[in-house]
Copies of this chain bind each other. A is one copy, B any other.
Amino acid sequence: MSETFVIAQGGGPTAVINQTVVGAVIELRKRYPGARVLGSRHGVRGIRDGDYVDLSDMHEEQLRLIGRTPGAALGSTRDKPDQAYCEAVLKGLHKAGADAFIYIGGNDTSGTQQILTDAAAGKIAFVHAPKTIDNDLVENDHTPGFISAAEFVASAFMSVDLDFRALPGIYVGIVMGRHAGFLTAAAAAWRKDEDNGPHLVYVPERAFSVERFIDDVKATLARHRRCVVAVSEGISTADGRSLVESVVAADKLERDAFGNVKLSGSDLTAALEQALAEGLPGKRARVDALGYMPRGFVGSINPVDSQEAFDAGVFAVTVASEGGGSVALQHENGKTMFRKVPLAAVAGKTRHMPDDFLQAGSNQLSEAATAYLKRLVPEKYEIGEPFV
C-alpha cells in the first residue's frame, strides 16, 4: 500500500503560508509517486473531523496559483488541543492511514506536534514547518511570512512619514506583536537618516512608560517638527502588565481561548490617543492600528519570502522521511539554510529581539538591528527628498 501524508495550517494566515503547502505537496508527489496527500481543513480540526481536501492529483498549475495567494487556503484554527483533542487527532490520523503529518505554524503548532509525537510512539512522523509574521521562533534566523509582513510595515511607515512631512503632527502606528518586537522594528528598516520616521520604536522587549513616551515625543517634535512612532500591540509597563491591562478595567478586558488579553481592540488606540491629548494638548495626533493588513497584503508579497516558504515545505518532506522534527531557517555564510531541529527545541518557546537590537536607554534601533532588517528587507523604492 502506498504512503499517506497529511498537511495542515495553524494560527494566523500570512502572505506566503500557502507556498509551504504547495512546496510540500509538489515534493511529496515527486518523491512518493502514487502517494495520497491530504490537506486537512482548519488545522488539526479537519483531522479530528475527517474533513480533508485531496491534493494527490490536483493540477500543478492550480497548486502554484494557490501558492501565490495570501491567506491559508486549507483554512486555519486557533484550537489549542488538550489531551482528549490530541487523542481524537491521533485517531483521525490512524483512520486516514497517515504515515506523516506536516503542520505549518508557529510555536504552538510545534507544541502540538511534540505532544502528538509522544502519544503516537513512533508510528507517524510529525513535522513542524515554520510560519509566523512575528518572527518569534527560536532556532530560526527568521520565519516564512515575516519578510513580506515586514516589507508592508516598512512601506507603510515610509509612506506615513512622507505624509507627516507635508502636514506635521504626531503619528502612532500600532503593529501586531504580543511578545516580540521584530515586526514593529521593521517600521524603521528603510530609514535613511535620523530625520526619517519612525523616530521612535516601542517594542514588548522594553518596559513602556507613558511619561517617558510623552517626553520622547516632545523631544522628537522639537527636533523634527513631526513625530512618527511605531508601537507593538504587546507593549507592557514595568510591572509586566500589557499597556491595555494597565489602562482598561479588569472586568472589561477581553480574553481569547488561551486566556491571553485581546490586544487588537480599540483600547490601546484609545489609551495612546488619551496619553497624547493629555501630555501634548492641542497637538495634531493620529493613532492608527495597522491591524491585519501587514500579515497578508496581496500587494506586498516578497519574492524571497515566497521562495523560502516554498522551500520550507520541500524540506519538511525530508524531515518527514527522517522521522519528524521542526524545520528551521538558519543563516549560514550569507545564505538561508534549512535545518532539522527537534520539535521540543521550538515548542512553546518565544524568541525575543536580541538585547543589542535597541540602543541602550533609548527607543532607537541599534546598528545590529538595522543591519539584520536591511539584510532581510532590502529597500524597495527610490524616494525623492521633499522640499520641506
Q: Which of B265, B292, B299 contacts A163 (CB 8 A)?
A: B292
A300 within 8 A of B: yes
A340 within 8 A of B: no
Kindly supply a per-residue 1/0 record for chain A positions 283-325, scoring 1 wherever the CB is within 8 Å of any chain B CB and 0 otherwise: 0001111111101111110000000000000000000000000
| Complex alpha-carbon distance, A156 and B295, angstroms | 11
A165 → B minimal CB distance (Å) = 6
User: Are A286 and B296 in touch, CB under 8 angstroms?
Assistant: no
Binding stretch for chain B, among A75-83, A91-99, A122-130, A134-142: A75-83
User: Are B71 and A386 in touch, CB under 8 angstroms?
Assistant: yes
A41 within 8 A of B: yes
| Complex alpha-carbon distance, A73 and B291, angstroms | 28
A337 within 8 A of B: no
Of residues 167 through 193 on chain A, the ones whose CB sits less than 8 Å from some CB of chain B are 167, 171
A5 within 8 A of B: no
| Complex alpha-carbon distance, A290 and B293, angstroms | 8
Say whether, besides A73-B386, A264-B286, A388-B73, A163 and B296 are in contact (CB < 8 Å): yes
Binding stretch for chain B, among A62-70, A200-208, A239-247, A341-349: A62-70
User: Are B39 and A387 in touch, CB under 8 angstroms?
Assistant: yes
A9 within 8 A of B: yes
User: Are B65 and A384 in touch, CB under 8 angstroms?
Assistant: yes
Of residues 147 through 167 on chain A, the ones whose CB sits less than 8 Å from some CB of chain B are 151-152, 155-156, 158-160, 162-163, 165-167
Interface centre among A166, A385, A386 (most CB of B within 10 A): A166
User: Are A298 and B383 in touch, CB under 8 angstroms?
Assistant: yes
Number of copies: 2
Say whether, besides A66-B384, A71-B165, A156 and B288 are in contact (CB < 8 Å): no
User: Are A298 and B75 in touch, CB under 8 angstroms?
Assistant: no
Task: Note all chain B residues with C-beta closer than 8 A to A66.
Answer: 384-386
Q: Which of B160, B171, B300, B388 contacts A74 (CB 8 A)?
A: B388
User: Are A65 and B382 in touch, CB under 8 angstroms?
Assistant: yes
Say whether, besides A162-B70, A291-B288, A381 and B155 are in contact (CB < 8 Å): no
| Complex alpha-carbon distance, A380 and B298, angstroms | 10
A376 → B minimal CB distance (Å) = 17
Say whether, besides A39-B387, A53-B387, A75-B166, A156 and B297 are in contact (CB < 8 Å): yes
Binding stretch for chain B, among A112-120, A266-274, A364-372: A266-274
User: Are B75 and A297 in touch, CB under 8 angstroms?
Assistant: no
A152 → B minimal CB distance (Å) = 7
5 cross-chain CB contacts under 8 A: A68-B382, A74-B387, A162-B296, A265-B287, A299-B380
Which 5 pairs show the lowest CB-CB distances between chains A and B? A71-B162, A288-B291, A75-B388, A72-B166, A66-B384
Q: A74-B387, A151-B299 are in contact. List 14 more A-B contacts (CB 8 A).
A: A12-B163, A13-B167, A41-B387, A67-B384, A68-B382, A69-B162, A69-B383, A71-B386, A74-B388, A155-B297, A159-B299, A266-B270, A288-B293, A299-B300
